[in-house]
Amino acid sequence: MAFATTPALSIDVARARAAWAHLQLLGEPANNTREALLRAGWLHAIGGADGYVSLWSRVRDFKRADVEDPLREGRLWIAPGVRGCTMLVPREELGLALLVGTRDARRRTERELAKAKVETSEVEALCDAVRAALAEAPKSTSDLRGALPAGAVRSLGEVGRKIGLSSTLPVALRLLEADGVIGRRAADGELDNERWIWSLHESSPLAAWSPEPTQVAMELASRYFRQAAPATVRGFATWSGLGLRECQAAVQTLGLAPVAVEGGAELGYAPESLLPLLADPPAAPSVAFVAFRDNHLDMRLGVTALVAPASWGRQAPSWGSGRTTLQAVKHLHGRGLLGEGALVGMWDYDAERGVLLRGAFGALPRATRRDLAGRCLALEHFLRDQVGHCLIYRMEPQRSREQRLAAIRALESC
């Protein structure tokens, strides 16, 4: 099939923003957490409050128990996903997440073991011991270590420290997880910690999925372009961590329709079934809050399509590179405030005062000004009463939190 380059549809940026918000469930929420993950995509689960915020923005009347109960019951799992990031995924897509998130795990592990002078046979023996220990009952990482035979786990010392491995146990856990033998859940089902409970899978989550790389890329592409359309091939490559040629082949195989977005330097693509929606999307919500590393921002190649050109020169915190401009930022290191589909500012939560802070890049749409206070109060109550903090990571230092709050205060009051 030829790679389509003639637009099947041309839309202005306002319609694109409205469609993106709709596909990400920011205007019409899902009925439950599983539905939200299947329709809007897997969510980053990095031990802070943002997983809860992402679901609060996408699930009707969301409460902590709406994600924690399914996690405890095995209907949701924590697993490596795109770019190897730790993500929250539904059970029926766990196998795909593992194939995506661990595709280079064995090759990377072999390199690390060679540097640490660890024989493969030693790790295989440890894997057998881990399986035997977990056959008795699920265990936390520390409990698992204590249940293993003496000498089964070896410290890797200074060499291990340099490659990020304290002992051979993380290696065994990584390989067993990649093979679909074991899985992890957050302790007590809580998203805002990084203490894992490991257990054996009753049946392999990989059984329903082809491990063939082109098939994995196509499965992932079908979800991405259904959840982020119209989106560019480069955007898919950046988000997924797959090679550009691999992504182009997946788009070509799926037969996605080219869509031109006003002001876009590259063509976007979408399933043909979504073209009527893109041509006439539901109105974007007057106010929406997106979390740190939220799909609504993370699936985009930067944020310029979401921001008014007059605000492109504004300073913005950037993941991994300090501060830059909204026009240049690739990964916004903060939480976004949306008004009628546009990124109009940022927000954060001052846990010491129990107050939600927000700041604008410029003038807000009339409907956003009208509805902002009420929506802020609702999120403020949720964070104060159900989460109790708004840390990005559970062990986030105080200085980092203070810098985030200062950045919000430096924006225009809203």
DSSP-derived 3-state class of residue 86: strand
**What tokens does 111 get?**
């390199």
Helices (H), 179-282: 213-228, 233-240, 244-254, 275-279
**Residue 228 predicted with pLDDT over 80:** yes
User: Number of helices and strands (H, E) in the chain?
Assistant: 17, 16
Is the full-model pTM beyond 0.75?
yes
Q: What's the average model confidence in pLDDT over 34-55?
A: 96
> Is the confidence at residue 383, as pLDDT, over 90?
yes
The parent domain of residue 405 ranges over: 302-413
Residue 66 belongs to some domain of the structure: no
- Does residue 333 lie in a domain region? yes
DSSP 8-state code for residue 384: I
- Indicate the average pLDDT of the chain: 93
Confidence (pLDDT) at 112: 86
pLDDT for 158 equals 86
Q: Which residue do the tokens 């699930």 mark?
A: 59
Task: State residue 324's pLDDT score.
Answer: 85
Edge-first strand order for the sheet with 43-44 is 43-44, 86-90, 76-80, 182-186, 196-200, 139-140
1 has pLDDT over 60? no
151: left (phi over 0), alpha (psi -120 to 50) or beta: left
Express each pLDDT in 140-189 by its tens digit: 999 999 999 999 999 988 888 888 888 999 999 999 999 999 999 888 88
Q: How far apart are CA 72 and CA 276, in angstroms?
A: 39
Q: Which residues pair with 10 in a beta bridge?
A: 260
Q: Give SS3 for 338.
A: strand
In the chain, the number of structural domains is 1
User: Over 126-146, what HEC string results?
Assistant: HHHHHHHHHHHCCEEHHHHHH
Residue from 275, 173, 135, 280 nearest 165 by CA = 173
310 belongs to a structural domain? yes
Between the alpha carbon of residue 331 and those of residues 62, 277, 293, 414, the distances in Å are 27, 27, 8, 24
Strand order of the sheet with strand 355-360? 288-290, 335-339, 342-350, 355-360, 412-413
378's tokens: 């609702």
Position 354 in a domain: yes
- Give the pLDDT of residue 182: 98
Rounded-to-integer distance, Cα 266 and Cα 318, Å: 23
Q: Which two tokens stand for residue 116?
A: 């640490």
- What mean pLDDT comes out for the span 69-93? 95
The tokens describing 296, both together, are 């609504």
pLDDT of res. 345: 97
Burial-class residue 12 by CB neighbours within 10 Å (0-12, 13-18, 19+): exposed
How far, in Å, CA of 328 to CA of 13, rounded? 18
Query: Would you place residue 322 in the very low, low, confident or very high pLDDT band (cuts 50, 70, 90)?
Result: low
Q: What is the pLDDT of residues 12-28, one digit of tens each?
A: 999 999 999 999 999 99
What's residue 315's pLDDT? 86
Among 242, 334, 354, 262, which Cα is nearest to 304's? Answer: 262
Exposure b/e, 113-150, CB count within 10 A at least 16 = b: beebebeeeebeebbebbeebbeeebbebeebeebbee
- Is 292 contained in some domain? no
User: Per the domain annotation, does 261 fall within a domain?
Assistant: no
Give pLDDT, residue 219: 98
Residue 111 has a pLDDT of 87
Q: How far is CA 267 from CA 208, 223, 264, 364, in A?
A: 33, 18, 7, 29
Give per-residue pLDDT as tens, 261-310: 998 889 999 999 999 999 999 999 999 999 999 999 999 988 999 999 99
Give the angle subtended at the CA of 300 by the CAs of 294 and 2, to the nearest 5°.
Answer: 135
Q: pLDDT at residue 113 above 90? A: no
The pLDDT score that the predictor gives to residue 400 is 87
Q: Measured in whole angstroms, how far is the alpha carbon of residue 79 from the centre of its chain?
A: 11
Q: What is the pLDDT of residues 191-224, one digit of tens each?
A: 998 889 999 999 999 999 999 999 999 999 999 9
pLDDT at 321: 57
Which pLDDT value is given to residue 296?
A: 97
Mean pLDDT of 57-73: 96
Strand, coil or helix: what is 34? helix
**In this structure, what token pair is assigned to residue 73?**
């019951």
> Could you tell me if residue 335 is inside a domain?
yes
Q: Please, are residues 20 and 161 in contact by the beta-carbon 8 Å criterion? A: no
- Among residues of the chain, what percentage have pLDDT more than 70? 98
Burial code (b: 16+ CB inside 10 Å, e: under 16) for 338-369 equals: bbbbbbbbbbbbbbeeeebbbbbbeebbeebe
Assess if residue 350 is contained within a domain: yes
